[in-house]
Amino acid sequence: MTINILDRATISKIAAGEIIENPASIVKELLENSIDAKASNILIDIKGSPCDYIKISDDGVGMTKDDLKIAFLRHSTSKLKSIEDLANIYSLGFRGEALASISSISKVEVLTRHKDEKSGLKAEVVEGKISEISNLAMQEGTTFYIRDVFYNTPVRKKYLKNDNTEFNNIYDIVSKIALSNPHISIRLRRDGKIILNSIAHENELNHIYSILGRDIASKLIKLDFSSSSYKIKAYISNNELFRSNRSHQYIFINNRYVKSNEISKAIEDVYYSLIPLNRYPVFVLYVEIDPILIDVNIHPKKQEVKFSEINNLTEILRNLVKDALIPKRVVSNKTPKKEEEKVDNLNIFDIFNKAKKDSSDDSASTFAENKNMDYQFLDMAAEDQDSYSDTKEEIILEDNNTNNITKEIDEEEIKEDQDKKIDINLLKCDFVGILFNTFIILEDKSSDSFFLIDQHAAHERIMYEKYKKQYENSNIYSQLLLTPEIIHLNPKEKDLVNTNSELLKKLGFDFDDFGDNEIVIRQTPMLFGSNISKNFIYEIIDSLEDVRNSVYEVDPYKIMKKACKSAVKAGDKLSYKEVETLIQTLISCDNPYTCPHGRPTVIELNKYAIEKVFLR
């Protein structure tokens, strides 16, 4: 084996791979350079494919001719002079690798004018080499034109995503950097259209609003803290605002966006039991810290930092969030609007009206109106009731207030369904009661056993299969929203909606564009209930990304699991008629044993297990 020394060009391309993964990496590095150059206004312009054309202009201090000559050499930087400076880094860039890496895999043109010079300079850079530098008239600042990204490394270009995905990556980077710099106006433009307009503002909440939109900014709580080691400013979500992932958690250490599981976990702990399980709070956190307490020189992306006293910081954050959040908890307003009382006049509620008419039990109607399960549950029971048409029902209320459900079952039906349905003997059991307003207790005296049915898991399964059958038969029932819901989306979310618009419409949603960054929801699936929150709509959109099987396909059945949002909850009080209908409908499901998420709907215990507990 012969050992070779690589040539300069090869070394540059290999090293560039650690810094420049995609066009978004280029935007990040140049944007951070503009901020370090004390720019007040920055414009990022993308035309066509992000690999074809990137322009970044700023009004910063600019470069002199001497600066320009060495700017594209590897490890040339204005931020460090010695190794001691690494312990006191406040700038975003410091390694001196970005410009060298960018110029080694793309064609670069730079225009710059230093604040102390009367004219500007222009130079072209190809594979790290600067062509002749010429003079030109221009404003103070620097403009970079980046063209033909990865033109000389086609293998890397082959693994880039489609243009929309690559632009969404750019948007994500720009929005995070914009959030960390409220004193700078940053605009992102695509093919002449302004996509992000981050307006410099003394009021940070207004600045956040210009980037993240009203839906988030209106539900944020501000908190402040200052000590000898830390200065903390944060905007945390109230208990009404949450998301299905951590993509809206923004952590900035000395104005640098970073990821920190320890910080995220500390804040999330406070929200436990205040927001639904498997949901995450939204927050924008700014921490100023003595640079000697952190190490930012861990990874070329500089998104990871190492804290010397992380436990101190997380404890401070935990207490700050607790003190700010707990007193400002809000009660979600789920009261239907007055005009919603007129919904019976709409044709889309014919199914509900029929279900109410066919039901002879007043409690079933009350259940439908109060539990938001009307057309979802009772209509489903009516459809599935055909297979139980010979069943005779009698509800007996005994003098001691013990309530039993007794039945006469057609033996032929039992024989036909036994192989594929949950134990039909559930209908023969005595109804004992409901434990904790959650677990339905049925006693089977013939086998010295009893069953516990989780009312929430059971109803989730019922609703999921109802929705699934409607989808597969292209017959999903939708409800018209009396007040259309306007949803603010970032470009990535908007792209997900547009890419999957046919699927969403087939799933029962009807929506239209409502400006560049908004859509208006006009109809939603009935099974999702009548009071759909914006959080729920955002979760549906997030799931388009989370459940993607491939770059071409989204699994609709995983989206359908969201239908369980309007299912009966643990703690909801059910009448005995409602329990009876729930059990009958569950038995008729194709897969009654688990909820759509895999949790059991029913478990069986026997007398012997209880006797062992009592040492009998």
**What is the SS3 assignment for 475-519?**
CCCEEEEEEEEEEECCHHHHHHHHHCHHHHHHCCCEEEECCCCEE
Average pLDDT, the chain: 77
Count of C-beta atoms within a 10 Å radius of residue 210? 19
pLDDT tens-place string over residues 281-312: 999 999 998 877 776 544 445 456 777 778 88
pLDDT > 90? residue 249 = yes
pLDDT tens-place string over residues 123-154: 999 877 888 899 999 999 999 999 999 988 88
Q: How confident is the model at residue 32 (pLDDT cuts 50, 70, 90)?
A: very high
pLDDT tens-place string over residues 171-214: 999 999 999 999 999 999 999 999 999 988 888 899 999 999 98
**Bridge partners, residue 479, by sequence:** 524
Q: What is the pLDDT of residue 378?
A: 36
If DSSP codes are grouped into helix, strand and coil, which group holds residue 548? Answer: strand
> Cβ neighbours of residue 427 under 8 Å, at least 6 residues apart?
391, 407, 409, 583, 584, 587
Identify which of 19-33, 395-409, 412-426, 599-613 has the greatest average pLDDT: 19-33
Q: What are the chain's domains?
A: 8-198 (3.30.565.10), 205-328 (3.30.230.10), 338-460+569-613 (3.30.1540.20), 478-566 (3.30.1370.100)
Q: How far apart are CA 261 and CA 252, in angstroms?
A: 13
Locus of tokens 């914006």: 534
- Prediction pTM value: 0.63
- Residue 141 near residue 57 (C-beta atoms within 8 A): yes
- Phi and psi torsions of 268, nearest 5°: -65, -30
- Residue 559 near residue 547 (C-beta atoms within 8 A): yes
Q: How confident is the model at residue 74 (pLDDT cuts 50, 70, 90)?
A: low
Q: Quote helix, strand, coil % in the chain, to nearest 5.
A: 40, 25, 35
Q: What is the mean pLDDT of residues 352-378?
A: 39
Q: What is the pLDDT of residue 132?
A: 82
| Closest listed residue to residue 21, CA positions, set 146, 186, 147, 161 | 161
- Residue 391 near residue 371 (C-beta atoms within 8 A): no
CA 190 from chain centre, in angstroms, equals 24
Count of C-beta atoms within a 10 Å radius of residue 119? 10
> Cβ neighbours of residue 219 under 8 Å, at least 6 residues apart?
237, 238, 240, 241, 282
Least confident of 41-55, 138-152, 331-345, 453-467: 331-345
Q: How confident is the model at residue 331 (pLDDT cuts 50, 70, 90)?
A: low
Q: What is the pLDDT of residue 82?
A: 45
Q: What is the pLDDT of residue 86?
A: 43
pLDDT tens-place string over residues 496-519: 898 888 888 888 889 999 877 889
Q: How confident is the model at residue 410 (pLDDT cuts 50, 70, 90)?
A: very low
Q: How confident is the model at residue 422 (pLDDT cuts 50, 70, 90)?
A: low
Angle separating helix axes 350-358 and 362-371, nearest 10 degrees? 150
pLDDT > 50? residue 430 = yes
